[in-house]
Each structure stands twice: as C-alpha cells, then as structure tokens.
C-alpha cells in the first residue's frame, strides 16, 4: 500500500479518513503533516473525523501540532486547538504548554481576531 493514498484527495474524501484510521499509527507516521493540512478548516467534512484520529495519537502528533501553533496562520491555529489539542491526553497537552502559554498571553492581532487566545486559555485551564 502506498501510504500517500491515505491522505485525503479533497475535503469530501471520507474513505481516505477511514483508511488511515484502519492503518493506524505508526503506519501513518510519515504523513502526519499531510493529514494535519486537512484539519485546517473545521467546516470541511474530513476535518472532524481526521482530527479525532490525530488527537488519539497523543505524543506522536505533538511536534507537528507545535509547528502549527508557532506559525502565522491564525485560522489554522484556531482549528488545530479546537479540533485536536483540546482532545489530547493531558500529558501531550502539557508538552504544548509553552506554545499555549504564548498564545494565551501574547496573541498576535490575527490570533486575537480568530479567538486563538481564548481557546488556548480554555485548554490550559483543563490541564492540572
């Protein structure tokens, strides 16, 4: 099987989402960034089920998420936080504490406009 075939081809490609869920991790390890691209807009049909799968990975998804959280795309950060980060196990959220703290206390203008700071504070409040 070509692992790249597990990456959705369009926002309606729920069959690819089912296939990547069946393949699981570590089979999907090399395509995590590609899969995250499809959670960039929470309105896409593939976004929520793919986000659930990615959140279930815990530790392996932390580093790819951290790259998004320090990036410039505020809308993507919002959906990343709302769809994935808030559903991670507490120890994985803890590994994102620095990025979450930065977003919650010193959000950029775009982050504030998208509510990234609010969601970051909500997530930080969930973790002991």
Give the percent of the chain with pLDDT over 70. 100
Structural domains in the chain?
3-126 (1.25.40.750)
CA within 13 Å, CB half, 7? 13
* The pLDDT value given to residue 128: 82
Span 84-109, average pLDDT? 97
Residue 76 CA to residue 62 CA, distance in Å, equals 15
Take residue 110 and report the two structure tokens written for it: 């775009």
pTM of the model: 0.96
Q: What tens digit of pLDDT does each residue of 39-88 get? A: 999 999 999 999 999 999 999 999 999 999 999 999 999 999 999 999 99
CA geometry: angle 110, 8, 46, nearest 5 deg: 60
């Amino acid at each position: 099987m070509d692992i790249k075939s597990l990456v959705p081809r369009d926002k309606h490609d729920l069959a690819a989402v089912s296939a990547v869920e069946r393949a699981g991790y570590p089979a999907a390890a090399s395509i995590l960034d590609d899969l995250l691209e499809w959670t960039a807009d929470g309105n896409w049909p593939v976004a929520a089920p793919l986000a659930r799968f990615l959140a279930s990975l815990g530790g392996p998804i932390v580093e790819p998420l951290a790259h998004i959280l320090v990036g410039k795309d505020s809308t993507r950060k919002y959906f990343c936080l709302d769809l994935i980060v808030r559903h991670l196990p507490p120890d994985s959220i803890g590994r994102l504490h620095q990025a979450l703290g930065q977003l919650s206390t010193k959000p950029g203008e775009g982050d504030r406009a998208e509510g990234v700071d609010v969601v970051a504070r909500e997530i930080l409040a969930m973790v002991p």
